[in-house]
Amino acid sequence: MIDPTTLPALHASHGGIWLREGDRTQAVAKGSAIGRAAETPVLLLNAPLTGQRLGYPELNGLDLLELWAFVHPARFLVPTAKGLAEALGLERPTAEADIPALLQAATAALLNILEGSGWTEREGGWTSAQSLHRLRWPWSPLVAPRIRRPAEAERWLFSRLPEWDEAPPRPATRPVALQEEAVLSRLSDLTGAQAEARPGQRAYAAAAVEAFLPRAHRDQPNMLLAEAGTGIGKTLGYLAPASLWATQAQGTVWISTYTKALQRQLDRESLRLFPDPATAARRVVVRKGRENYLCLLNLEDALQGGFAGRAAILAQLVARWAAYSKDGDMVGGDLPGWLPTLFRRNGSTALTDRRGECIYAGCPHYRKCFIERSARASAEADIVIANHALVMINAARGRESGQRPQRIVFDEGHHLFDAADATFSVALSGHEAIELRRWIMGPEGSSRGRRRGLAARLSDLASYDEEGGDAIRAAADAARALPADEWLKRIVAGEPFGPVEQLLSAVRGTVYARAADTGEADAGYGLETELAEPDGALVEAAQDAALALDALLRPLARLAKRLEAVVEDAPDWLDGAARARIEGAIASLGWRRDLITAWLALLARIGGPADPDYVDWLTVDRVEGREYDIGVHRHWLDPTRPLAETVLKPAHGVLVTSATLKGGGDWGNAESRSGATHLARGAQRFEAASPFDYPSRAEVLIVTDIKRGDIAALSGAYARLIEAAGGGTLGLFTAIRRLRAVHARIADRLARAGLPLYAQHVDPMDTGTLIDIFRDDPRASLLGTDALRDGVDVPGQSLRLVVMEGVPWSKPTVLHAARRLAGGGAAYDDRLIRARLAQAFGRLIRRAEDSGSFVILSAAMPSRLLSAFPPGTPIRRVTLDEAIIAVNTHSRAGVGGGAALGHQDDESGMHDLEQR
């Protein structure tokens, strides 16, 4: 067998490139490293990232992350040298030059696990290794010989997965009134006897009882808006009454989040409720949209030749993970977030159901399906951890009416408006239309894959019911009016085919004609224009497209009626599995009919009267000058109206909570953005300020001498601030272009100082992995955009400094302009900006012992917005040099640093405080 210590090992970073051969490590140039890697496989850690550092993105080799995914599927790993060393119990490298030796040692350790008797993930390993060997996986020559052949043939993955059991409907929940003493007692059990006293948390838990009282009137839920500052402990504060109500009422509480990070955190917190992991898995269920879960039918297709090359290797590693996964969640679950990114363009999206083509009981793996198991488990659970979008979509589509939540906790409630805006919007675009065509017609031409159209999915209906078969064929014929493959090329060439492509061509022409007047057409970014005063060509194209969509809607409606008739008549072939499949098809048809109906209403607006309840506009979506979609969009002016009708009113109790629920404004802002204003009973209010000592633990520095638009000066400021803090910096940008420019200028400089720098939209890793790396290394820094402004919990020394490139002004879109006009003009903008500042500042202090600085690189920061920060927080306007000194002092002083800085306000800083 090959000795892993004889394999060459390569490490590349912004600080240099090191190659180890035998027992000798030396620094090498990029060309030498690329040449050596091309000659023979070398040990690497994260090949795409290493290739990016070398300027050679197609770099391949023996990636230890792939080996880890084979040996320990579904086991967490921070994908860095430090993370690998700690996971394997090896000595952490003290310098980057030591990393190649670590890669050799880690390889030996992982391969030794395969030969040992304690390998807990052995089942299926031999069979998987043989399949990977046939696919020429680079690790196969080292892995396959070390796995002993089992005495008996290993079971196929699909026979090893457990089946879910059908359960009778759960009885109606009992009306119970929680007692405050019992809630506080449950809270004490959750926090533990040794926990410090938190009066704010106890008051919060007592107030949350409001959402769990019996409802007095229909369509009037008991609603509580609760703003609880960072450090109050609101998670356990609402879990106490929620878990107590679930036990006493024998019902389910849905806890909804906006970010996957909070979902993971809540899942971990569930062990406080149920310390036994098996009990916790049964009583607490995480729910997400279907597109997040592994589709077993897609996986089977991939394993049996549907994938080729590197994608086939990914499928084998995902199959290894599926056998040990807790719930089959591929996005934010226990599938390593870094695994799909190792395969570049051959991603994992084809292994999920992203097109709504599930055949339900017609699938041979239906009884083992992760999605169906999760849905059924949630019906029996005490706590369901979901997300805002799933809660709203289920309510709007009525897919799970038997499980309609009676008690809902919306955590991260300041995002409720945004989630409703996305959920209840409509877009008639090229991408949306072609997906509908493919859902109806299935594969066309030479396209491959498991995609099947209506005729294939409902073949038994077509053979049994003549009218149903006619409706399927009529729908397929009508769907030919929708855009087909290469629709965008035809439109750009001025040769659209069919009425919907003609419409999109007219939309594109209108957008470019109006953008030419503003100079935006040459900027390379997405373009949009208000849907007002359309010309004759656009109106005519809209009318033709509406006729084509109406012709499609009619056979789909006819087909739905025939499916309902079949269920009612119950022929001999309609067993339980077939019934479930037909009912699933009825639901899917209902969603598509609703979509087409919404498109028709939108097209009626073109050339017709405007509806004051909606905002309509036209877009050409582009990235770096390349067009990728064209469409007509419609959003509610106030999306909390459908939120109130479909989600809030049917519920019995709703708790909306956040650390920044008021968004830097007053309670009126919280009520208008949560939907409470549309409820006859309104909502109760609760507020608890953060217990943290912000005056001595934090400071806000507004740098006044960085010229707007000066990328060199901005880059220099970021580099100097990160150096002053010794890493531990979160940099927030409002534009990806500026983020990339700053990263390109400072990454090498910081690396030479031993300060690793990572960035969204630059490093080939998902956001969750970047945050894991940032959290794990106190000297690392991370640059990102809006996704990092909220939902990021990085306590302690890993986050000591937050830097914003400027004031987070709203992008002047058509939608924003309409809402600004309706919401009070400049005051509306100010509320949004204060909310963003408060959310960004909230990343800085996550625990009582945390300390740090918040820096804004903008002299134009208006004093009226400074009320976004907690009362008493020192705020100063300073030069960059003064900010460097302050950050350095604060970082070194730690606990006491902020107190001294709090007394150093200059005149402008004192003026700001007075203005507040």
Higher pLDDT, 518 or 53: 53
Evaluate if residue 576 carries a pLDDT over 80.
no
DSSP reduced 3-state for 377:
helix
How large is the average pLDDT for residues 17-42?
A: 92
How confident is the model over 82-94, as a mean pLDDT? 95
H or E element in which residue 13 lies: strand 9-13
Q: What does the pLDDT look like over 800-848, one tens digit per residue?
A: 999 999 999 998 899 999 999 998 899 999 999 999 999 999 999 988 8
3-state secondary structure of 720: helix
Residue 742 has which token pair? 């700053």
Residue 422 confidence (pLDDT): 95
Sheet holding 626-636, edge to edge: 426-429, 626-636, 614-623, 527-530
CB 406, CB 653: distance < 8 Å: yes
pLDDT at 799: 93
Asked if 365 and 353 count as a contact pair (C-beta separation under 8 A), the reply is: no
Residues 6+ apart with CB under 8 A from 870: 229, 689, 690, 692, 694, 698, 841
State yes or no: pLDDT of 911 exceeds 50: no
Based on its alpha-carbon atoms, the radius of gyration of the chain, rounded to whole angstroms, reads 29
SS (H, E, C) 542-569: HHHHHHHHHHHHHHHHHHHHHHHHHHHH
Q: 223-234, pLDDT tens digit by residue?
A: 999 999 999 999
Position 762 confidence tier, pLDDT thresholds 50, 70, 90: very high
Question: Averaged over 119-134, what is the pLDDT?
Answer: 95
Helix (H) or strand (E) holding 63: strand 62-63
Percent over 90 (pLDDT), the chain: 69
| pLDDT band with cut points at 50, 70 and 90 for residue 894 | low
Q: How far is the CA of 657 from the CAs of 185, 256, 266, 356, 410, in angstroms? A: 22, 10, 14, 32, 6
Which pLDDT belongs to residue 331? Answer: 87
Q: Across the chain, what does the average pLDDT equal?
A: 89
Distance CA 876, CA 702 (A): 6
Is the pLDDT at 559 greater than 90? The verdict is yes
The overall pTM is greater than 0.75? yes
Does the pLDDT value for residue 161 go beyond 90?
A: yes
Q: What is the pLDDT of residue 516?
A: 66
| Residue 447 backbone phi and psi in degrees, to 5 | -65, 145
Give the sign of the dihedral formed by CA 581, CA 585, CA 588, CA 590: negative
**533: which DSSP letter?**
S
- Render pLDDT for 681-692 as a digit per residue (tens, 0 to 9): 999 999 999 999
Cα separation, 781 vs 725, in Å, equals 10
Which pLDDT value is given to residue 904?
31
Tell me the mean pLDDT in the region 683-705.
Answer: 95
Question: What does the pLDDT read at residue 447?
Answer: 54
How many Cβ atoms sit within 10 Å of the Cβ of residue 97? 16
Q: What is the pLDDT of residues 396-417, one digit of tens each?
A: 876 544 567 889 999 999 999 9
**pLDDT greater than 50 at residue 909:** no
Residue 902: band (very low, low, confident or very high) from pLDDT cuts 50, 70, 90: very low
- Tell me which long-range contacts 295-299 makes (C-beta under 8 A, separation of at least 24): 295/351, 295/352, 295/353, 295/358, 295/371, 296/158, 296/161, 296/322, 296/363, 296/365, 296/368, 296/369, 296/370, 297/359, 297/363, 297/364, 297/365, 297/450, 298/350, 298/351, 298/352, 298/353, 298/450, 299/351
Please give the single-letter amino acid code of residue 615: V
Residue 686: beta bridge partners?
Answer: 226
pLDDT digits (tens, 9 = 90+) for 593-638: 999 999 999 999 998 888 999 999 999 999 878 999 999 999 999 9
What is the dihedral angle through the alpha carbons of 323, 325, 328, 332, rounded to the nearest 10 degrees?
-150
The CB density around residue 607, as the number of other CB atoms within 10 Å, is 14
> How does residue 303 score in pLDDT terms, banded at 50, 70 and 90?
very high
Mean of pLDDT values over 15-30: 93
Q: How many CB atoms lie within 10 A of CB 447?
A: 10
What's the pLDDT at 519? Answer: 57
d(CA 207, CA 227): 11
Rounded average pLDDT over 729-754? 94
Give the pLDDT confidence score for residue 896 in this predicted structure: 37
Report the C-alpha gap between 752 and 85 in whole angstroms: 22
* pLDDT for residue 201 is more than 70: yes
Q: State the average pLDDT over residues 469-488.
A: 94
Q: What is the pLDDT of residues 217-276, one digit of tens each?
A: 999 999 999 999 999 999 999 999 999 999 999 999 999 999 888 888 888 888 889 988
Torsion of CA 589, 592, 593, 595, to 10 degrees: 160
